[in-house]
Structure 1
Amino acid sequence: MDNFRQTHPVHSEIKVAWGEMDALQHVNNVAYFRYFETARLDFFNQFNLLDELEKTAIGPVISENNARYKRPVTYPDTLLVGVSVSDIKADRFMLHYTVMSQAQQAVTTVGSSQVVMFNFKTGKKAPLSNELLAILHRYTSETQECRNEV
């Protein structure tokens, strides 16, 4: 676990709920997108990125989500969901998620989300701010390390 925390400095701890399991007695695939959302919002909130949405009406929207399930997870368990960044463009970037099971001491799921900045006043894409670009670039180099270990 310590190695996971070192290679994923931005991560969220999520307890698996009994109700997230399905009839096959493992966490339903839909729950992972909620885990990704929790980790993504924790990432944004860590840097107060959603504060800008209130001021400028420009904020992140998801244009694509992906998940790859490697191992089933069951209740009870606590998951660490690591977040890293790649593919930074003028108006978008990719977030990567790595889900680690404390009970199994193994990576169970990996995923990604394409995040596009959107101006809610104009209804059009918006460029990434300089502040956001600086934050994203801090976590880009770690992405390769995280994806290479999976």
Structure 2
Amino acid sequence: MHAERKHLLTTRIPVRWGDMDAYNHVNNTVYFRYFEQARVEWLEAMAFPVRPDQESAPVIINASCTFLMPVNYPATVEVRLYAGEPGRSSVMTWYELYVEGDDRLYAEGAAKVVWMDTRSGKSVALPDELRAVFAD
């Protein structure tokens, strides 16, 4: 994880039986959904609705995950969301995934979030309200 980051949100998500794959653990694609859910919860808590009818909105331009240990059903995952110093139109986010009741890190990930004009698809400056989160 990046050293200069700010903890923004922790969320808990129940693992669904259908999240598992043929190896009887959570499928790798589902980890990205857990990270996405944390990101959406954070943005909506900041009063940025994540809906297609907005004039500007966040999108990710890359995402990664390092799978350290398998998650199995039943469980509740705890996702911790962090972000770094924002740029003009983007902010880097990082994720840590734990299983509730276990201190071990199961996965870690990252995603670069870019603010865009939904009509043109081009990047725009981050909203001042979002930038203010990193000012203190």
CA distance in 1, matches of 2:100, 2:34: 15
Q: 1:62 aligns with which of 51, 60, 85?
A: 60
CA distance in 2, matches of 1:105, 1:45: 28
- Residue 128 of structure 1 aligns to a residue whose secondary structure is coil
CA distance in 2, matches of 1:34, 1:138: 29
Name the counterpart of 1:94: 92
State the shift of 1:122 in Å: 2.7
Name the counterpart of 1:4: none
Name the counterpart of 2:46: 47
TM-score normalised by length of structure 1:
0.79
Name the counterpart of 1:73: 71
Name the counterpart of 1:144: none
State the shift of 1:104 in Å: 3.4
CA distance in 1, matches of 2:97, 2:20: 16
CA distance in 2, matches of 1:138, 1:78: 33
TM-score normalised by length of structure 2:
0.87
Runs of 4 or more consecutive aligned structure 1 residues displaced over 3 Å after TM superposition: 51-55
8 Å contact kept, 2:43–2:49: yes
The count of aligned residue pairs is 131
State the shift of 1:49 in Å: 1.6
- Residue 41 of structure 1 aligns to a residue whose secondary structure is helix
Name the counterpart of 1:148: none
Name structure 2 gaps, 5 residues minimum: 1-5
Higher helix share: 1
CA distance in 2, matches of 1:101, 1:10: 16
8 Å contact kept, 1:49–1:132: no
State the shift of 1:8 in Å: 4.7
Paired residues for 1:118-129 under 5 Å: 118-129=116-127
Name the counterpart of 2:3: none
Q: Which amino acid aligns with 2:9?
A: V
Name the counterpart of 2:21: 22
8 Å contact kept, 2:20–2:27: yes
CA distance in 2, matches of 1:59, 1:46: 14
Cα gap change, 1:138 to 1:75, in 2 (>3 Å): farther
State the shift of 1:115 in Å: 0.5
Q: Which amino acid aligns with 2:89?
A: D
| Identical-residue share of aligned pairs (%) | 31
8 Å contact kept, 2:40–2:50: no
Cα gap change, 1:112 to 1:51, in 2 (>3 Å): closer
State the shift of 1:50 in Å: 2.1
State the shift of 1:53 in Å: 7.6
